[in-house]
Amino acid sequence: ASLLVLLSPTSCTVGTRKVKLRKETGARIDIEDSENAQGDRVLLISGIPVQVCRAKATIHRILSENMPVSEEMLVPQRAVGRIIGRGGETVRLISKSSGAK
């Protein structure tokens, strides 16, 4: 499983803790060198699902100390319908229960 997280320049603390995060979670963590127009960089977390979840939770804790987080998840095409749900019902429930937009 892989997860993409956008990192702003102010969240460089993740980059400095990358080796420690890898040892603690078992997940591979790579930060792309290039930035998008907003100055964000892509953080790629990969490993088995439990490793990715551990790394994601740890990174969210680090980032939540400093700023809101924007996240992009790659999901199999066959799962998109289930995630969205009939008429968007499932994704609205996820948004409502988590507080995410």
pLDDT at position 62 is 76
pLDDT at position 84 is 92
List 30's β-bridge partners, or say none: 44
Other beta carbons within 10 angstroms of residue 28's beta carbon come to: 15
**Residue 1 in 3-state DSSP?**
coil
- What is the 3-class SS of 23-74, one letter each residue? HHHCCEEEEEEEECCCCCEEEEEECCHHHHHHHHHHHHHHHHCCCCCEEEEC
Residue 7: partners with Cβ closer than 8 Å, 6 or more residues away: 14, 15, 31, 40, 41, 42, 43, 63
pLDDT at position 10 is 45
Q: What is the pLDDT along the chain (101 residues), one digit of tens a residue?
A: 445 565 555 455 566 677 888 888 999 888 777 767 766 777 788 889 899 888 888 887 777 776 666 777 788 899 899 999 999 999 999 888 887 77
CA distances from 27 to 4, 35, 78 (A): 13, 23, 25
